[in-house]
Chain A
Amino acid sequence: MTIGLQIAWMISLPVVMILLVAVVFTGISLKVTARIDRRYGPPIYQPVIDLVKLVSLKTNVSHGVIFDWGLLVAIAGSSVALLMIPMGGIHPLSGSGDLLVILYLMIFASVGLGLSAGASENPNASMGVSRKLMLGLGYEVPFILILLAMMTYHHTTSLVALVAAQRATGVLGALRFPLSAVAAILIMPALQGVRPFDFVTAPQEVASGPMVELGGKYLALMVIEQSLHTAVILSLMVDLFFGGATNLGIFILKMTGLFLFGVLVNAVYPRFRVEQALRYCWRWPTWFALGGLIMAMVTKGG
């Protein structure tokens, strides 16, 4: 890839992903959920209307510098993480960070959001962040075990190499690491923050938690950040378990499939409480992930 093309992808890839998740995926999810509820549902372009409205609102309320820049930094962290994840052969920044760096850039984004919410001086926001970090602790246990299984088996920490290994052998990660794949499916909703794990941002819980003080362009920024986060999670899963893709189109198709799974779970399950979510994450998903790791260590051989 030439430098020019790389830079072009660096700029366009986050934009593409934001549009994909924030507009297309959200539109689809509204429609699908509505049909499950036997409603007609909003038009498929409803997210566009919402975003345009948010950005063009005249009243924007800020709570200071940290409030503003926490959000911006979170978006930046997620964007850079996205550029390190190979998407159908496109990975402009993968030379600057491996899977561990991606994991840490996700933390970077969480911390940015936490700071922004904390700076809003609203106890509901603080409560939301506390719940968000606890949920992180919950799903991170199986998630780390899943990643370790793959990194140990293939003896690399590079995501590009993990994808290449699946391509070279023709065996998808989901087949090579079946137990890890089960664990991953079980914690996918937690990683995405959808039901049954939406106690962080659910409006009925703590007045939308970290988002309580966000309005106008700030809410638009939050939507962008959440879209990026979802894109990071989906593309990571596609790369780890479904062999990535040879071009961006197929990659996006695979992402769509995974996203629809999340939409279906979100539509039919009730919400966990925080401690229920923690206990859930630390039981079956962790056992499966642990089994996957042991299996990877046993079958590694030479």
Chain B
Amino acid sequence: MLESIVIIGLVAPFVVGLSWRWPRLRAVLAGVAALYPLIALSVLYGRTIATAYARIPFLGTELSLRLTPLSWLFGIGIATIGLFGLIYSFSYMKGKQQLGLYYLLYLLVNAGMIGVVLSGDLITFYIMWEIMSVATFLSIGLARGQALPAGMKYILFSIGGSTAMLLAIVSLYITYGTVNIAALSAAMSGASVGYALSILVLFSVAFGIKNAVWPFHAWLPDAYAESVTPFSAVLSGMLTRMGVYGFLLVMYGMIGLPLVQRMTYGPVGYQIVLAWIAGITIVFGVFTAVLHDDAKRLLSWSSIGHGGYMILGLLLAGTLNLSGGIFHVINYAMSVSLLFFVVGAVEYRTGTRDLTQLGGLKERMPVTFIAALIGVLGMIGVPLTSGFVSKWLIYKGLILGGHPFLAFAALIGTWGTILYGYKLIHNVFLGRMPARFEEVEEVPWGMRIPMIALAGLIVLFGILPGIPLRIISLIETSFGVSALPTAIVGAPSGVGELNLLNILGGILAVAIAMYAIFSPTARARRAARTDTYTAGAPTPISGYHYVSHFYDPAERIIRPYLTDWCGVFYSWVGRQANAFFNGARKVYSGNINTYALWIVILLGVFVTMNLLGWRP
């Protein structure tokens, strides 16, 4: 069954790509290819499987696939977001160029991700990781223009990470003679702390780059903002989170928590150092997002920031933190994919995603508006959305674990999320609508369905968080750490005070009671759009929409602190490399005369040396 998921995943993209002549057939094939892992994984719920599929004689090792609760959760996330993105693409990409290549790469990226989470040994893991990375690189470049350098940036970072990972894999193979993750897990429990730390740091570079942890974040904003929108959703929803999967796999599944906890030298330790980096990532990412007016760029920076929450959650290893961190992967994937779908939908109908050009679309695109609202609320983590539960677990874990400053970073990051979340909603859907959008229509059903489904999931898991948390406690059991006790509507009494059904009931009761009391006493008149109070100031007939520099006073204060020195540094390195290669191009000009000149000059140098009597 596992083999079939991976093989179908890897073969189907090429079949789909080759059926360029028959768009209908291509759609059906792509749908089947995206649906199959979802169905297969659903059937395999709760099972742990390991199968060897090939033997490499010259390495004396077996290649294998395996299914653990962790890979199940990530796999189902990948398959779900992948399927929704595909359904969305059918409408969104209609009439665009190079569709065959697009579907090929889209499915290949998803297959690569599924392969990563299902691999049972590090060689398979590495190969799948590279398939995923290269396919991603090509997909980012599909949009052309600005996307080409963005893709180049991505692949350069990615290669750096892969190299570090390969080094670690080779070292592990030389030391233990195996690449099987389960076997390594048993073997590494006796490893020295220093060796385990060096392995972990190498893997951390690879996974930190993939998850865009500060200071390795520089590739992400360009890559997300410039790639095709449905692909941005996959990229931000699950692909970046492969880094989190990697951290979980190596930290908990391979090296094991006891060993990681011994990696301390005085007050400084692996966990606490990386936790602070995650804290910086949150604050830096989230507040940079506030400064942006391009909707996709805003969401990209938000992805960087929220990646920090996940790393913060899984590093500090308390059960609350860990559950929150894993749960946040799922929640953020749902929210951010939904919001990318929303931004794509708005761009599809209005032709722009610039937050200073839109406005008042809530009545023209009601479904998109509600989806955007739920997505933003889920991202902020407002109670009754699933984002709240994961953030609550992370905060509580940090506070009870005695890390108030990290808790501060996480809590203030949420205020940053409110700022940019409200800006996103307000500038696109609320306020005064520019007259040119009078004729804008809601997007087609193919784009609505994924948005409705994701919004529904966010609310469902927000009121009944026990459903995903039960799987997360299975994961914790499989890691050998204490599992989170779960209750269907919140936290059981041993964990803390949280009952979302009561909160929902309370809010509904009060809101409906207020409506019932106030609605009949005086029936309201629905005001026309232009019928607003201007305090006596003369305004044009179309009115004003307050969008430009939405948080100007705050932006002016925080902007100097948010200079992206890492980005500046990488650009500097890029420019230097460019200058060096340009210089090298003058030497290797490809012109035979130049080469002849070099030979003559060299001979001249030798002759001169000879004449001066200087013989080394």
Contacts and interface: CB of A to CB of B under 8 A. Distances in A.
A118 B426 contact: yes
Nearest to A140: B415
A107 interface: yes
B498 A148 contact: no
B595 interface: no
Contact of B404 (A100, A119, A141, A149): A149
Contacts of A118: 422, 425-426, 430-431
A33 interface: no
A14 B503 CA distance: 15
B506 A122 contact: no
B85 interface: no
Contacts of A155: 400
B551 A62 contact: no
B497 A97 contact: yes
A278 B561 CA distance: 15
Interface string A214-236: 00111011001000000000000
A216 B522 contact: yes
A152 B422 contact: no
Nearest to A121: B432
Contact of B545 (A58, A126, A220): A126
Nearest to B430: A118
Interface string A115-140: 10011111110110110011011101
B496 A158 contact: yes
A60 B522 contact: yes
Contact of B518 (A133, A138, A221): A221
A142 to B, nearest CB: 11
B411 to A, nearest CB: 5
Interface-central residue, B362, B422, B525, B551, by most chain A CB under 10 Å: B422
A68 B360 CA distance: 16
Interface residues on B, range: 35 or more
Given A121-B532, A121-B543, A14 B510 contact: yes
A182 interface: no
A258 B388 CA distance: 31
A48 interface: no
Nearest to A111: B382
Nearest to A279: B557
A138 B399 CA distance: 22
Given A123-B543, A123-B546, A157 B400 contact: yes
Interface stretch (B34-42, B291-299, B373-381, B578-586): B373-381
B499 interface: yes
A157 B362 contact: no
A35 interface: no
Contacts of B522: 55-58, 60, 216-217
B380 A111 contact: yes
Contacts of A111: 377, 380, 382, 418, 422
Contacts of B407: 148
B418 A97 contact: no
Given A80-B510, A145-B408, A212-B533, A96 B550 contact: no
Interface-central residue, B360, B382, B529, by most chain A CB under 10 Å: B382
Interface stretch (A70-78, A167-175, A187-195): A70-78
Given A100-B396, A275-B557, A80 B418 contact: no
B415 A136 contact: yes
A217 B519 CA distance: 9
B605 interface: no
B533 A213 contact: yes
B20 interface: no
Interface-central residue, A60, A76, A279, by most chain B CB under 10 Å: A76
A66 to B, nearest CB: 6
A302 interface: no
Given A123-B545, A157-B399, A279-B557, A137 B419 contact: yes
Interface in B555-579: 556-557
A122 B524 CA distance: 18
Given A79-B510, A120-B532, A152-B402, A63 B525 contact: no
A129 B546 CA distance: 11
A126 to B, nearest CB: 4
Contact of B507 (A76, A127, A224, A293): A76
A226 B221 CA distance: 39
Given A60-B525, A73-B507, A107 B360 contact: no
A62 B101 CA distance: 50
B430 A133 contact: no
A177 B529 CA distance: 51
Contacts of A80: 503, 506-507, 510
A78 to B, nearest CB: 9
A213 B382 CA distance: 26
Given A73-B507, A107-B382, 7 more contacts: A55-B518, A76-B507, A77-B383, A115-B430, A123-B543, A136-B415, A293-B405
Interface of A: 10, 14, 55-64, 66, 68-69, 72-73, 75-77, 79-80, 83, 93-98, 100-101, 103-105, 107-108, 110-111, 114-115, 118-124, 126-127, 129-130, 133-134, 136-138, 140-141, 144-145, 148-149, 151-152, 155-158, 207, 212-213, 216-218, 220-221, 224, 273-275, 278-279, 282, 293, 297
